[in-house]
Amino acid sequence: MHAPHQGGRPGRTGPYRVVTGLDDGASGMPVPEGRYIARSADGGRTVLISVPTEGADPLRFMAEADSSRYLLGPWSSPATELAGPDEAPWHARPYLPALPLPTALLVHGGPLPERTVRAIGAALVETLSIGHGQGLAHAGVSPAAVLLAADGPRLGCFGAVRVAAPDGVPRSGLPGLESGSLPPEQAAGGRPDPMGDIYALGATLAYAATGHTVPESHQFPAALRAVLRRCVSRDPAARPRPAELLDVFSAVGAPVTGPASSPAPAPHPATEVDQRPASRAEAVLGPGWLPGRVIAAIAHQSARVLAAEPSARQPVTTHRQD
């Protein structure tokens, strides 16, 4: 069976028929994998399927997908189903209505509010911290890797830097990698590590807050300027640690009353971790954390996917509302 190529054309991937593509090419943002919303033949299951981009190593792509299955935490997005050994490479996870971060900026009509940026930062720091505690560097944080759902962000594209090229091979300019969020040491071929994830997170949040992939630091929100500047330091030792980032992102103006708009998935039962970081991330993901236009676009996507027949040719695109 053949996986669909990038561009949203319909096809069959494993037991699924593609409904539509996830990513809106209007953003111009590199995406490290082809992502498609697909449905089982009986219509009973809808999934988000990922396939390697042209030129990516399929063995590394599948190895990273396999490793992602061990990711814990409510805001991670691990693969739950992998292609068989005789199939073209793909992996899948249950479909959750969500917009890629670049699409959310298009829908909103510009940079996201500071409160939204803080909430994204708090949830993703929590996710990265759990992964780092498992000995896993994400090596794929970028604007396209962040999916915004109504109850909080999800972090995907695990291992995208490792898929693009092995350690020791320069990665600058490779397809699918967004240069602004690629840590300089990894661009030069260095092995991905946790402090590289911090650089990529800072660059991704800077994009969310400014709309630019390589903004000047004076464009950062004043309350976040110092910490984001440190995140994107070329010196890994100068980058802040996750606990400090969580303090910053869950601080000024963060709502501390009321539950999130819908319950977040529970942490893996095998993880006996301090629940304080999780509760702080959930607090800033309370009602109103996402702008109304983004919430409306997520609902619109969900309705279109539910109504669509497999092999529908139109991509899921969302346009800024007047």
The domain that holds 29 is classified in CATH as 3.30.200.20
Who wins on pLDDT, 28 or 7? 28
**CATH (domain of 229):** 1.10.510.10
**Secondary structure string (H, E, C) spanning the chain:** CCCCCCCCCCCEECCEEEEEECCCHHHCCCCCEEEEEEEECCCCCEEEEEEECCCCCHHHHHHHHHHHCCCCCCCECCCCEECCCCCCCCEEEECCCCEEHHHHHHHHCCCCCHHHHHHHHHHHHHHHHHHHHCCCCCCCCCHHHEEEECCEEEECCCCHHHHHCCCCCCCCCCCCCCHHHCCHHHHCCCCCCHHHHHHHHHHHHHHHHHCCCCCCHHHCCHHHHHHHHHHCCCCHHHCCCHHHHHHHHCCCCCCCCCCCCCCCCCCCCCCCCCCHHHHHHHHHCCCCCCCHHHHHHHHHHHHHHHHCCCCCCCCCCCCCCC
**What band does 54 get if pLDDT is binned at 50, 70 and 90?**
confident
Who wins on pLDDT, 69 or 258? 69
pLDDT in tens, 185-241: 999 999 999 999 999 999 999 999 999 999 999 999 999 999 999 999 999 999 999
pLDDT in tens, 169-178: 999 999 999 9
Q: Are residues 249 and 128 in the same domain?
A: yes
Q: Are residues 115 and 228 in the same domain?
A: yes
Q: Are residues 119 and 262 in the same domain?
A: yes
Reply yes or no on whether the pLDDT at 312 is more than 60.
no
Q: Are residues 109 and 57 in the same domain?
A: no
Q: Give the pLDDT score at 11.
A: 82
**Cβ–Cβ under 8 Å, residues 91 and 82:** yes
The answer to whether position 59 is within a domain reads yes
Q: Could you give the number of structural domains in the chain?
A: 2
Q: Are residues 103 and 185 in the same domain?
A: yes
Average pLDDT over residues 101-108: 98
Reply yes or no on whether the pLDDT at 267 is more than 90.
no
State percent of the chain over pLDDT 70.
84
CA distance 41 to 310: 8
Q: Are residues 91 and 121 in the same domain?
A: no
Q: Give the pLDDT score at 309.
A: 67
Q: Give the pLDDT score at 283.
A: 85
What is this structure's pTM? Answer: 0.86
pLDDT in tens, 138-159: 999 999 999 999 999 999 999 9
The answer to whether position 5 is within a domain reads no
Average pLDDT, the chain: 87
Q: Are residues 234 and 250 in the same domain?
A: yes
The answer to whether position 320 is within a domain reads no
The answer to whether position 317 is within a domain reads no
**What band does 281 get if pLDDT is binned at 50, 70 and 90?**
confident
Q: Give the pLDDT score at 214.
A: 93
Q: Are residues 180 and 251 in the same domain?
A: yes
The answer to whether position 199 is within a domain reads yes
Boundaries of domain holding 51: 12-97+300-307
> What are φ and ψ of residue 95, in 5° steps?
-70, 135
Q: Give the pLDDT score at 279.
A: 60
Q: Give the pLDDT score at 310.
A: 56
CA distance 235 to 255: 34
Q: Are residues 125 and 88 in the same domain?
A: no
